[in-house]
């Protein structure tokens, strides 16, 4: 390799290396975040005692269920960044788990970014939210029950 081709080769190698680090496919409306159902397993530095808060991600926003209310929020910026409009909830009050649900709603409303790595969804903000893929046990149906229908 001549002296003149080494800089060009090095520049091309650098561009290819940086392109390989890109984690979001071009034109991906989800910004690399899988559109999926998730269960909250951690809030802040602690774990969630009951797996009863869900999140479903879609290109236009998120929705789910808390222990008391259903909720939805539209995302106003392209993923993986997030800036949710005010949460819309089903308005249930007086629930035994209202405190954890309110803490979750506040953390979700203040969040600024999502990331997905190793099967874990993290929603970043002043208080981090950690999710695992799936649904709570009380919301799942095994294959045999699904095949039987309403017998």
Q: What is the pTM of this model?
A: 0.73
Residue 5 predicted with pLDDT over 60:
no
pLDDT tens per residue across span 14-61 = 444 444 444 444 567 888 999 999 999 999 988 887 889 999 999 899
pLDDT tens per residue across span 68-118 = 999 999 999 999 999 999 999 999 988 999 999 999 999 999 999 999 998
Walk me through the domains of the chain, giving residue ranges and CATH numbers: 29-135 (2.40.128.270)
- What is the structure's pLDDT at 50? 85
| Cβ pair 125, 107 in contact under 8 A | yes
């Amino acid at each position: 390799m001549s002296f003149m081709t080494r800089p060009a080769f090095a520049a091309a190698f650098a561009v290819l290396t940086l392109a390989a680090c890109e984690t979001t496919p071009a034109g991906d409306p989800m910004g690399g975040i899988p559109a999926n159902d998730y269960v909250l397993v951690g809030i802040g530095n602690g774990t969630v005692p009951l797996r009863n808060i869900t999140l479903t991600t879609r290109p236009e926003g998120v929705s789910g269920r808390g222990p008391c209310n259903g909720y939805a929020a539209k995302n106003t910026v392209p993923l993986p960044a997030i800036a949710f409009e005010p949460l819309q909830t089903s308005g249930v009050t007086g629930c035994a788990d209202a405190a954890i649900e309110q803490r979750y709603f506040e953390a979700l409303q203040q969040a600024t970014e999502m990331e997905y790595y190793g099967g874990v969804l993290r929603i970043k903000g002043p208080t981090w939210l950690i999710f695992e893929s799936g649904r709570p046990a009380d919301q799942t149906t095994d294959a045999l029950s699904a095949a039987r229908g309403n017998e």
